[in-house]
Structure 1
């Protein structure tokens, strides 16, 4: 499954803020992490937080696009829509 995430680095703490929609109506998950956007630290913190929240191993969550951007695409192995909704609510 592919998940769109808008990441805020240096956000004070690691937290999933909730769902939002862009101007085109596409849903994305708003996430903040305490790590700075240096040497991939914020991306690593994002992957760890998403994996922990969804009950998946870190190796099941990969950054598919957006390594240097705020809007990122994550690929999550072994996750379906129902499990995503159960863990994070409806988009």
Structure 2
């Protein structure tokens, strides 16, 4: 996966950035695993039960983008594999830099 295609999952919104995501719960290891269309595909070790996968996703996003969990919100897909998450208080340029580091570190 290249940085430019990964950045296509990001879009600017009022007060932050929106990220289009497809999650893979119950994976062997957690992390960025590629693209699915224009969505980041993120593997999560947590099961999709009682919000565990969403919590694991928030932890990964918080760590990757340097944004506190309280600044994250699911805009669409809270019970779906396809999600749209808003990261408040981060610029698009900062999010793209953080994502580039994640893409390069996952190779």
TM class by shorter chain equals: 0.7 to 0.9
Rounded to whole Å, the distance in 2 between the matches of 1:86 and 1:57 is 17
Q: CA deviation at 1:14?
A: 1.7
The alignment partner of 1:75 has SS state of strand
With normalisation by structure 1, the TM-score equals 0.84
Matches within 5 A, 1:1-91: 1-18=17-34, 20=35, 22=37, 27-89=38-100
Rounded to whole Å, the distance in 2 between the matches of 1:40 and 1:66 is 12
The alignment partner of 2:46 has SS state of coil
Rounded to whole Å, the distance in 1 between the matches of 2:39 and 2:99 is 11
Greater helix share, structure number: 2
Rounded to whole Å, the distance in 1 between the matches of 2:72 and 2:54 is 11
Rounded to whole Å, the distance in 2 between the matches of 1:7 and 1:21 is 10
Instruction: Could you tell me which runs of 5 or more consecutive residues in structure 2 were left unpaired when the two chains were aligned.
Output: 1-16, 101-107
Runs of 4+ in structure 1 deviating by more than 4 angstroms, as ranges, are none
